[in-house]
């Protein structure tokens, strides 16, 4: 525990929100679960900023962040698919496994290799777990508002999972990190519309 920095404690707050999200999924409250998941997302975005601001960024901290990302983004996405989109346990088993396994491998790679660098700047190797989570949430919102079919949701999620372990370069920019909470707030608001107005 002595090795933990203030940024690592921020990461643990993100993990707390992921745990609350999982409990809400298990309690049959997918809309509130997504809202809690976005709480974890906000603290996950904050931990890196805290680490850089305090000059405490480290490989150890990156490992903690990647470990927590499994729960904030991957487990939450798999649970959302299972509880809100899947017609059958077998479909959930396959889609959820791909999300968690390929996303987990992507995070292991990031922990080991860190960011890539080229003339375009710093980049993540492969599509990020955040983007995969966004695909699942987008499918959930489409299903809730326009009746998007489960098979289309499953197909899109399965199609993007291999991108997490590909050589795709997801460039990291300050602008996207600063704007990231905006779509999260919009999606959370849409979940509340589904909860109270749908």
**pLDDT by 10s per residue, the chain, length 198:** 778 899 999 999 999 999 999 999 999 999 999 999 999 999 998 988 898 899 898 888 889 999 999 999 999 999 999 999 999 999 999 999 999 999 999 999 998 988 899 987 889 999 999 999 999 999 999 999 999 999 999 999 999 999 999 999 988 877 776 777 788 899 999 999 999 985
* pLDDT tens sequence across 111-155: 898 889 998 788 999 999 999 999 999 999 999 999 999 999 999
Q: What's 51's DSSP letter?
A: H
Domain range annotation of the chain:
6-197
Q: Which fold has domain 6-197?
A: 1.20.120
Q: What's 127's DSSP letter?
A: S
Its pTM stands at 0.93
Cβ-based burial of 27 (10 A; exposed 0-12, middle 13-18, buried ≥19): exposed
């Amino acid at each position: 525990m002595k090795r933990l920095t203030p940024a690592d404690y921020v990461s643990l707050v993100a993990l707390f929100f992921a745990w609350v999200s999982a409990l809400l999924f298990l309690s049959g409250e997918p809309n509130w679960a997504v809202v809690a998941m976005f709480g974890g997302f906000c603290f996950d975005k904050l931990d890196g900023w805290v680490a850089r601001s305090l000059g405490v960024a480290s490989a150890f901290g990156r490992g903690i962040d990647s470990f927590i990302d499994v729960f904030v983004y991957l487990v939450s996405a798999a649970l959302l698919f299972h509880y809100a989109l899947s017609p059958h346990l077998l479909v959930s088993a396959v889609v959820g496994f791909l999300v968690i396994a390929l996303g987990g491998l992507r995070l292991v790679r990031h922990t080991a290799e860190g960011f890539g660098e080229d003339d375009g700047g710093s980049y993540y190797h492969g599509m990020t777990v955040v983007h995969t989570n966004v695909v699942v949430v987008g499918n959930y919102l489409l299903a809730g508002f326009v009746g998007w079919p489960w098979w289309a949701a499953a197909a899109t999620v399965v199609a993007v999972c291999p991108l997490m372990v590909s050589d795709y370069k997801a460039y990291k920019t300050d602008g996207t990190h600063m704007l990231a909470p905006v779509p999260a707030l919009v999606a959370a608001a849409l979940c509340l519309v589904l909860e109270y107005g749908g």
